[in-house]
Amino acid sequence: MKKTHQLAASPQGIEAAATLLRAGQQVAFPTETVYGLGGDARDADAVAGVYAAKGRPSFNPLIVHVADLAAAERIARFDDITLRLAQAFWPGPFTLVLPLAPDHGIAALVTAGLDTVAVRVPAHPVAQALLHAFGGPLAAPSANLSGTISPTTAAHVIAGLEGRIAAVVDGGPCQVGLESTIVGGTHLALLRPGGVPTTEIEALTGPLAQPDARITAPGQLASHYAPGVHVRLNATHANKDEVLLGFGPMPCDLNLSETADLTQAAARLFDALHSLDATGRNIAVAPIPDHGLGAAINDRLRRAAAPR
């Protein structure tokens, strides 16, 4: 168990938080909606650490937080209407799901292997200061244990995550107290109601589409990257037409973690599936222990292996 530092929302506290984030650590910070649990969105290990701290049983894609529209445009592609929405509601409690830009640099674990990314520019001055001090994109789900209520004070964060994260920056209570509104997809749908009222958005866009079931159920197979080849689980060896994805010390084509480290395996999972998929051969996967992040890894693998 590590000690969770409680940092003041002072220039020193924010610099200390940015330093921890640069070192790949997980730091909770206030936004105007709820406290987020941040990790460097370009660093798969840091993002795996976010999932591990939350104890998430599955890899839902995460929201990437950036300081401004220019930073958002480096990771995502906007069209006329999404640009208009960004200009109207950023910074603020508003998230857009957009196609990834070329050379986006975002770890595949953040998007759960999708080719879209959720982006938000928070308005909270402490979130803004931290994003500027850190100087990069932060993947941040709400800073609570999976299955518990979203935190709106630093004390809530500590109650859930003490000893599981490096630090929390205390910026007082969140004003909105409700997660951001999420809009996106090919038909511009309301993916999650939240801090910005739907009517304000529809005043600019006209009626939003009904959410595509494949996108709104992020835990579902269809919303996730699914390999084009067949996936076989709990394999001890590769058959003739297969490549073997290993775990722990074993002969294989690619290893999720030679040292059987579940956080490292989570960090590598989506890149590994992509690169083995590209071989065109079927994928056999070694058994992964089902505790800790292993549960989320197995959840994802079962979806990849499900008949479709």
Q: Could you list the residues that contact ligand TXA (CB under 6 A)?
A: 31, 33-34, 36, 60-63, 95, 97, 111, 114, 116-118, 120, 140-142, 179-180, 182, 191-192, 215, 218
User: 34 is in the binding site of which of Mg ion, ligand TXA, none (Cβ under 5 to 8 A by kind)?
Assistant: ligand TXA
DSSP per-residue letters across 233-261:
-S-SS--TTEEEEE-SSS--SEES-TT--
**Residue 218 binding: pick among ligand TXA, Mg ion, none (C-beta 5-8 Å cut-off by kind):** ligand TXA
- Smallest separation (angstroms) from Mg ion to the CB of 26: 15
4 vs 162: CA distance, rounded Å: 6
CA–CA–CA angle 167, 140, 9 (5° rounding): 40
CA 206 to chain centre: 29
- Please answer whether residues 20 and 260 qualify as being in contact, where contact means their C-beta atoms are separated by less than 8 angstroms: no
Least separation in angstroms between residue 229's CB and ligand TXA is: 23
Backbone angles phi, psi at 150, to 5 degrees: -65, 140
Residue 219 beta carbon to ligand TXA: minimum distance, rounded to whole angstroms: 8
Q: Does 58 bind Mg ion (CB under 5 A)?
A: no
For Mg ion, the closer CB: 142 or 264: 142
Please, which residue, 142 or 153, has the CB nearer to Mg ion? 142
Q: Which is nearer to ligand TXA, 218 or 227 (CB)?
A: 218
Q: Which of 130, 60, 139 is nearest to 104 (CA)?
A: 139
Helical (H) or strand (E) element with 87:
helix 80-89
Residue 264 interacting with Mg ion (CB under 5 A)? no
Instruction: For the CB of residue 66, give the shortest distance to ligand TXA in the complex, in Å.
Output: 11
Contact between 207 and 248 under an 8 Å Cβ cutoff? The reply is: no
Residue nearest to Mg ion (CB): 142
Phi, psi of 298 (to 5 degrees): -65, -35
Least separation in angstroms between residue 244's CB and ligand TXA is: 30
136 interacts with, out of ligand TXA, Mg ion, none, CB within 5 to 8 A per kind: none
What is the SS3 assignment for 66?
A: coil
Q: From the list ligand TXA, Mg ion, none, which binds 120 (C-beta under 5 to 8 Å, kind-based)?
A: ligand TXA
CB of 286 to ligand TXA, least distance (A): 28
Rounded to whole angstroms, the Cα distance separating 142 from 144 reads 6
How near is the Cβ of 195 to ligand TXA at its closest, in Å?
Answer: 7
- How far is it, in rounded angstroms, from Cα 38 to Cα 63? 10
- Of 149 and 250, which CB lies nearer to ligand TXA in the complex structure? 149
Q: Which residues contact 182 (CB under 8 A, 6 or more apart)?
A: 63, 95, 96, 97, 118, 190, 191, 192, 194
Q: Give the one entry of ligand TXA, Mg ion, none that residue 118 binds, where binding means its C-beta sits below a cut-off of 5 to 8 angstroms depending on kind.
A: ligand TXA
Of the pair 218, 294, the CB lying nearest ligand TXA is at 218
Q: Which of residues 129-158 bind Mg ion (CB under 5 A)?
A: 142
In the complex with Mg ion, which residue's Cβ is closer, 271 or 299? Answer: 299
Omega before 122 within 30 of 0, i.e. cis? no
Residues that bind Mg ion (CB under 5 A): 142
